[in-house]
Amino acid sequence: MELNFTGKAVVVTGAGSGIGRAMAVGFARRGASVLASDINEANLLKLQQELALEKLCVEIQACDVSVEQEVADLFNNSLLKNGVDVLVHSAGLTYFKNFTETTAEEYRTLIETNLSGTYYCLQQTVSKMKEHRIAGSIIVISSINAHRPLPSQAVYTSTKAAIESLCQSLAVEVAPLHIRVNCLAPGAVATNLSKVVMTEESKISAGKGIPLGRVGEPEDMVGTALFLASSLSEYMTGSSLIVDGGLILKR
């Protein structure tokens, strides 16, 4: 089983917390040269300092993925002078609000961050891979909501469904270049986003409704991403892997 990423350049967005942070740590521990990005620079500095204690190096760069120029600047980082081998695009946000209570500004923010941000990052990644003739892997963090919607997240759900469609179409387009594009769709995961509505008590309660008996942790997503980034999945593209402890079976 080959899960050594030494010599590979891996870009992780949304790396300041939650799933993105777990991804940056997971790839760094397996030898990758990681460029970690997040809108929150303070969180990136904490990540860099904590990995330094393990004698692991990670390059950091603040970036708002909804701003096209900031994404372009991210992919001009010197760490990527020889191209990008893997992108793990985890940056995103949500609002837990009824559809009629969601403001136009909140709608635009979700679209610009979740959908436009994905477009910008994928476009830059594919351009880098093509330029350097890299048969790379693109992994986009989607959501179980793209497959089984929940109330109070209509706009968020629509962005995740659109992202999955975008990735499927792109997978077909870049397959001749041996670039693979897949989604990873988490279920209920204990992140900063979910803490808005999930207390420790409700987390335990929610876990009882999941076949594997608990709410997921960000680290539970890392193994699937490592698989998608490795040669173990070299015949897989355009797929969406649901990692949810079986939650989708109960919805």
Domain total in the chain? 1
Q: What is the average per-residue pLDDT within 152-165? A: 96
Global pTM value:
0.93
* 74: Cβ contacts below 8 Å, ≥ 6 apart: 11, 35, 37, 61, 63, 124
Q: Is position 4 within any domain?
A: no
Report pLDDT for 206.
66
Question: Choosing from 160, 194, 230, 233, which is the catalytic residue?
Answer: 160
Query: What is the phi-psi region of residue 36: left when phi exceeds 0, alpha when psi lies from -120 to 50, beta otherwise?
Result: beta
Burial of 72 (0-12, 13-18, 19+ CB in 10 A): middle
Q: Is position 155 within any domain?
A: yes
**In this prediction, what percent of the chain has a pLDDT beyond 70?**
92
Question: Choosing from 156, 158, 230, 233, which is the catalytic residue?
Answer: 156
Q: Is position 3 within any domain?
A: no
φ/ψ of residue 76, rounded to 5? -95, 5
- Give the span between the Cα atoms of 116 and 59, in whole angstroms: 24
Is 143 marked active-site?
A: yes
pLDDT higher than threshold 90 for residue 57: no
- Give the span between the Cα atoms of 60 and 45, in whole angstroms: 8
Question: Choosing from 17, 90, 143, 240, which is the catalytic residue?
Answer: 143
Highest mean pLDDT among 34-38, 198-202, 247-251: 34-38
Is 95 marked active-site?
A: no
Q: Is position 54 within any domain?
A: yes
Is 160 marked active-site?
A: yes
- Give the span between the Cα atoms of 241 and 219, in whole angstroms: 16
**pLDDT tens readout for residues 1-13:** 558 999 999 999 9
**pLDDT tens readout for residues 170-222:** 999 999 999 999 999 999 999 865 555 555 666 556 676 899 999 999 999 99
**What is the average pLDDT score of the chain?**
94
CATH code for position 77: 3.40.50.720
Domain interval for residue 130: 9-250
